[in-house]
Amino acid sequence: MKLLHKDIEKDYAGQVTLMPEEAEDMWHTYNLLQVGDSLRASTIRKVQTESTTGSVGSSRVRTTLTLCVETIDFDSQACQLRVKGTNIEENQYVKMGAYHTIELELNRKFTLAKKCWDSIVLDRIDQACDPAQKADVAAVVMQEGLANVVLVTPAMTLLRAKVEVTIPRKRKGSCSQHEKALERFYEAVMQAILRHINFDVVKCILVASPGFVKDQFSAYLFKEAVRQDIKILLENRPKFMLVHSSSGHKYSLKEILCDPSVTSRLSDTKAAGEVKALDDFYKMLQHEPDRAFYGIAHVEKAADALAIDTLLISDKLFRHQDVPTRSRYVRLVDSVKDNGGTVRIFSSLHVSGEQLTQLSGVAAILRFPIADLSEPEDDSSSAED
């Protein structure tokens, strides 16, 4: 993401102009947008024209519209963002108050104006525009006949390819059908790796499976790389790391990222930091339950007592369309930061973020134990989109 212009007043009203450069930037933009914001961007509009003879035709024209945002729709698989709203600036093709849906495009700038830019949104812009925050981990999670090629970026987990091949069982006296199918499977996985992994950016490729599938695939991969002279695989061989997983499904990613050998290799990545923070919280909950709280009411009380050492909070909570509820979470984050605590904002598109959402989206590790917080959790703690 490129920040082209930023104009925010002392009362935190103002606007920023941004240019999304890659698919992940659409996820960041989705987290910046709220109902009631004003969005100015280039879009295509179907316009009806009447000729001098009275015949009516239609054509598609590119124009720049400013909408008051009403609905925001994000497709996490395709990384596409559509914003629907009413036109609030006079335009030669679109009447004031007319509805239009803008699909934001890569490498086309947009301007977003808000009545109040809070700390969470400003941090999100800093994170999105930081060139170091890129997809630096890839994972191939596999079992016989199934492989998921996944990119782990600081903001989200992207499933890039799913390879499924039916592998017949070994027959007595003949394994040829089984071995041919395995070879087809390994070839498909290798092609998916070459197609979807950018070796210039990715620092580490985790190959995970139960049993010996990962070892057999790795042997096949580099044997083929030598035979076909695939230089990019041979040059990046040190980036490949074989680890154990319980299955070839995407949900096994969490246990892979928890593996101590993986954690040490990925110590500088945000995804590994989130997994470790959640792991620390569960350990604390097990051994010292008076120092591990979850649910907004309990966590707020701990914040009032200046007891929070680490706050774990899902970015899903900041997409709450009820302004007072959203402000409540923003105040909590600001309070913890002001009192020297660490705040980790989890992406709801990461496996660890999905787990945190099950704990109502907010949890805290405390500096010191606090007892007698057994009041029932209030209803507003439910994480809504």
Q: What is the DSSP string of 270-319?
A: HHHHHHHHHHHHHHHHHH-GGGEEESHHHHHHHHHTT-EEEEEEEGGGGG
pLDDT at 384: 46
For residue 37, count other CB atoms closer than 10 A to its CB.
19
Neighbours of 235 (CB within 10 A): 11
CATH of region 2-47+55-129: 2.30.30.870
- Contacts for 271-276: CB closer than 8 Å, 24+ residues apart: 271/137, 271/152, 271/153, 271/154, 271/157, 271/350, 271/352, 272/137, 273/344, 274/344, 274/346, 274/347, 274/350, 274/352, 274/353, 275/351, 275/352
Residue 132: the pLDDT is 53
Domain parsing of the chain, residue ranges: 2-47+55-129, 136-268, 271-366
Predicted confidence at residue 201, as pLDDT, reads: 77
CB 105 within 8 A of CB 29: no
Q: What is the model's pLDDT at position 35?
A: 92
User: Which three-class secondary structure state does DSSP give residue 70?
Assistant: strand
Q: Which two tokens stand for residue 145?
A: 């006949």
Q: What is the DSSP string of 75-116?
A: ETTTTEEEEEEEE-S--SSS-TT-EEEEE--TT--EEEEES-
Residue 336 has what pLDDT? 95
Closest of 299, 309, 295 to residue 378, by C-alpha: 295
Q: What is the pLDDT at residue 66?
A: 95
Alpha-carbon Rg for the chain in angstroms: 25
Question: What is residue 66's three-state secondary structure?
Answer: strand
**How many C-beta neighbours within 10 Å does residue 166 have?**
8
Give the residue among 298, 134, 121, 270 at the shortest CA–CA distance from 200: 134
Render each residue's pLDDT in the chain as its tens digit; 385 residues. Answer: 889 999 998 888 999 999 998 877 888 999 999 999 999 999 988 887 777 777 777 888 899 999 999 999 998 777 789 999 999 998 888 889 999 999 998 899 999 999 999 989 998 898 888 765 565 789 999 999 999 999 887 667 888 899 999 988 877 766 788 889 999 999 999 999 999 888 877 888 999 999 999 999 999 999 999 999 999 999 899 899 999 999 999 888 888 888 877 776 765 566 777 888 899 999 999 999 999 999 999 999 999 999 999 999 999 999 887 888 988 999 999 999 999 999 999 988 888 888 899 989 999 999 999 876 655 444 444 444 4
Report helix, strand or coil for 330: helix
pLDDT at 294: 93
CATH architecture of 271-366: 2-Layer Sandwich (3.30)
Q: Please report the pLDDT score of residue 383 as a whole number.
A: 44
pLDDT of residue 102: 94
Residue 76's identity, in one-letter code, is S
Q: Is the pTM of this model over 0.85?
A: no
- pLDDT for 135 equals 58
- Cα dihedral: 222, 223, 226, 232 (round 10): -20
Please give the Cα distance from 347 to 325 (Å, whole number): 19
What fold does the segment set 136-268 form as a domain? Nucleotidyltransferase; domain 5 (3.30.420)
Integer Cα distance of 351 and 366 in angstroms: 24
Would you say the CATH fold of 271-366 matches that of 2-47+55-129? no
